[in-house]
Structure 1
Amino acid sequence: MAGPDDDSDKTEEPTQRKLEQAHEQGDVIKSMEVSTFFGLVAVTAVVGLTGSGMTGVLLPSLRGLFEHAADISVDGGGLRRLYLTLVGGFMLALAFPLVLMALGGIVGSLAQHRMVFSWKSLEPRLDKVSPLAGLKRLFSPESLANFVKGLLKVAILGTVMTMVLWPERDRLDALVTIDIARTLSVAKSIALRMLGFMLVLMFLIAAADYFWSRYRYMHRQRMSLQEVKDEHKQTEGDPHIKGRIRSLRMQRARQRMMQKVPEATVVVTNPTHYAVALKYDDTTPAPVCVAKGVDEVALRIREMAKGADVPIVENPPLARALYASVDLDEVIPEQHYKAVAQVVGYVLNLKKKPSWRS
């Protein structure tokens, strides 16, 4: 017998309602590599578009530091002033880039799923503090895959950095001998080149990780056949109840139809299998079908017509044609006017009433 954690019976793709419920609980497709990629895009944009502005903010502080390094006091007060000056300059220069990076992470999340607000993940759960559950998560196949993926990403990005920086090693050594403004310009050029290579590789990594995360998510949301049936009952209603309701509606409609039979002008029969009750008066351009049926229903129509003294005329071809071509409370089709006129005229002549086609 399958245990509670056995997913072997979950063979059905998740329904839209299942996915909506998972989204409401905060369970969504989430690839950290996609968010990292968009954050890297923001960093590249910051370096490329606002590098000069950052340089302008940092340059005075760095130039003063390097040019007057020998004059800087190293006592407690001097180091404190130096620290505040450098930190203030860096925070001012990095404020806008950090905001863009945060927006890049948000955009990365919204690119994978729509916005969600859920307190489900913050609810206290025993499995979050259970050492055994923690060990299971630590040595799970998914954790192992994330570990291997992290090592691979570090190796790839490390290789890219080495390929970009190694040819510039002599140029980097010489940076200490040139003006600080020139140093920042060279650093910006090298950083942009390195970020360009990293963007291409991170795009490939993020795309692969997103499709893997989507596959894992959809597999996790799979449902058993019984779950699909239960959900269908909840959303569409129990088929047995729906069938019962449909049966009751048909029964009530048939009762209303039978109540109109005594008002009919004539009933055309097959003579036993079909019966169509027609009503004609001065308010309609042609006779109207007020009741029709086959077999048992046709028998009841004939019995009610006899009880109400409604004339019954046997005309098998006309009865079948009317049954097939006219619905309840509708005027008969024009192609049957002549045949019906003969029947109605015959009945009305018997009752000494004027015929509709006379």
Structure 2
Amino acid sequence: MADDSDPEDKTEDPTPRRIEKAIEQGNVPNSPEINTFFILAAFTMALLMASGMIAKDLVASLRGFLMNASAVPADPAAYSEMGLRTLIICAQALCIPVGLVLVAGLAAGLIQHPFVFSTEALGPKWDRVSPMAGVKRVFGMEALFQFVKGLAKLGMVGVVAGTILWGERDRMEVFARLDPSAVLAAILTLALKMMAGMLAVFIAIALGDAVYQRFRWRQRLRMSKEEMKQEHKESEGSPEVKGRMKQIRAQRVKKRMMAAVPTATVIVTNPTHYAVALRYEAGMTAPVCVAKGVDSLALKIRAVAKEHDVPILENPPLARALHATVEIDAEIPAEHYRAVAEVIGYVMRLRRRAA
């Protein structure tokens, strides 16, 4: 979504179409701190729920190696087999923590934005290799914010970790004198305390960074007035195209009206400015307007009517009223029934006399 516009000219909020287009191209708000928080939470959950089971499985699986280490044949094939079995045992033990971390990473992305598949980010972008763009990234406001955020995060995590370790200093002094199994349990408890403290810090950092990243994302999508006009033109169509389409539709309507004039029952005129062609047949609920026009189009309707012997009656008030209230191929309004009935009745009487 990069462009050459001056950022100072982008004073307008992004339109829904601009936002939708950015998401389609993979440009979505993303906070790395939320990803970090979810991964830490998953790792803490793995320690809390699966650490005991994992330790027991590792001890049970590796006990045979440790108890029979002297019986292992001293040849490369035996060493390779033993190494492969050890890797399989470790992989089985770590599959739960690693799976939780992977699921947490996916959940962090889905919480921030819906799943988006786009190859736009894989394409070459010359602004990434531009020296000026690189200088702006290193010394710009965004780089300054990230630097300050990193210092703040490091300081907060250091304070929390130091506070927890200082409170456990008496217990840590006796770790060296404890049984190995007891040391592992004590270290696990201390690690869980540390992780809980860091999670408390990271949840505040993640929420603040998520708000900031969404704000910066919308700010990057801001538009200039010229871009707003261009988007409106693309969505609504240029005035030239709309005018041409309107002209084509008018020509089609005119052609269809001229073809329908010979089927009319009567032409009501005023006498040269307005012309309305009405058609009525037995069984119809009301007469229908098949053509209408003013000035030159009215004269054209009169000429076609004369060519096909369609009766033409002058009734200025009725002609003006019908032209203003009835549409093409629509029945006349009820308020004009009586006047139109008199006109059509007159035409019918003329036809009977002629017959």
Q: Same fold (TM over 0.5)?
A: yes
Look up the match of 2:220.
Answer: 220
In the alignment, does 2:234 pair up with 1:261? no
Q: How far apart are 1:179 and its partner, in Å?
A: 3.8
In the alignment, does 2:310 pair up with 1:310? yes
Between 324-333 and 88-97, report the one with greater CA deviation: 88-97
Question: What is the one-letter code of the residue matched to 1:99?
Answer: G
Look up the match of 2:345.
Answer: 345
Q: How far apart are 1:229 and its partner, in Å?
A: 3.2
Q: Classify 1:61/1:348 alpha carbon distance in 2 versus 1 (closer, same or farther; 3 Å).
A: closer
What TM-score do you get using the length of structure 1 for normalisation? 0.79
Look up the match of 1:162.
Answer: 162
Between 154-163 and 14-23, report the one with greater CA deviation: 14-23
Identity of aligned residues (%): 47
Partner Cα distance (2:311, 2:302) in 1: 9
Q: Is the 8 A contact 1:59 1:181 kept in 2?
A: no
Q: Is the 8 A contact 1:266 1:347 kept in 2?
A: yes
Q: Deviations over 1:151-192 (max 9, x none)?
A: 101111222222333222212333333344444444444433
Look up the match of 1:74.
Answer: none
Partner Cα distance (2:113, 2:309) in 1: 71
In the alignment, does 2:137 pair up with 1:137? yes
Which consecutive residues of structure 1, in runs of 5 or more, have no partner in the other structure?
Answer: 72-76
Look up the match of 1:332.
Answer: 332
Question: What is the one-letter code of the residue matched to 1:43?
Answer: F
Look up the match of 2:49.
Answer: 49
Q: How far apart are 1:221 and its partner, in Å?
A: 2.4
Look up the match of 2:73.
Answer: none
Look up the match of 1:241.
Answer: 241
Q: How far apart are 1:264 and its partner, in Å?
A: 1.4
In the alignment, does 2:276 pair up with 1:276? yes
Which consecutive residues of structure 2, in runs of 5 or more, have no partner in the other structure?
Answer: 71-75
Q: Partner of 1:268: helix, strand, or coil? A: strand
Look up the match of 1:108.
Answer: 108
Q: Is the 8 A contact 1:37 1:206 kept in 2?
A: yes
Q: How far apart are 1:42 and its partner, in Å?
A: 1.1
Partner Cα distance (1:33, 1:164) in 2: 22
Q: Classify 1:273/1:194 alpha carbon distance in 2 versus 1 (closer, same or farther; 3 Å).
A: farther
Q: Is the 8 A contact 1:63 1:180 kept in 2?
A: no
Q: Deviations over 1:306-351 (max 9, x none)?
A: 4544323333443344334432222334443333222111111011
Q: Deviations over 1:187-225 (max 9, x none)?
A: 444433433333333222112112211222222223333
* C-alpha RMSD over aligned residues: 3.7
Look up the match of 2:211.
Answer: 211
Partner Cα distance (2:293, 2:202) in 1: 72
In the alignment, does 2:295 pair up with 1:289? no
Look up the match of 1:11.
Answer: 11
1:81-100 mapped onto 2 (5 Å cutoff): 91-100=91-100
What TM-score do you get using the length of structure 2 for normalisation? 0.79
Partner Cα distance (1:182, 1:353) in 2: 123
Partner Cα distance (1:18, 1:182) in 2: 60
Partner Cα distance (2:321, 2:274) in 1: 10
Count matched residues.
341
Partner Cα distance (1:244, 1:155) in 2: 66
Q: Classify 1:151/1:89 alpha carbon distance in 2 versus 1 (closer, same or farther; 3 Å).
A: farther
Partner Cα distance (2:151, 2:243) in 1: 59
Q: Is the 8 A contact 1:25 1:119 kept in 2?
A: yes
Q: Classify 1:287/1:98 alpha carbon distance in 2 versus 1 (closer, same or farther; 3 Å).
A: same
Q: Classify 1:241/1:269 alpha carbon distance in 2 versus 1 (closer, same or farther; 3 Å).
A: same
Q: Classify 1:235/1:132 alpha carbon distance in 2 versus 1 (closer, same or farther; 3 Å).
A: closer
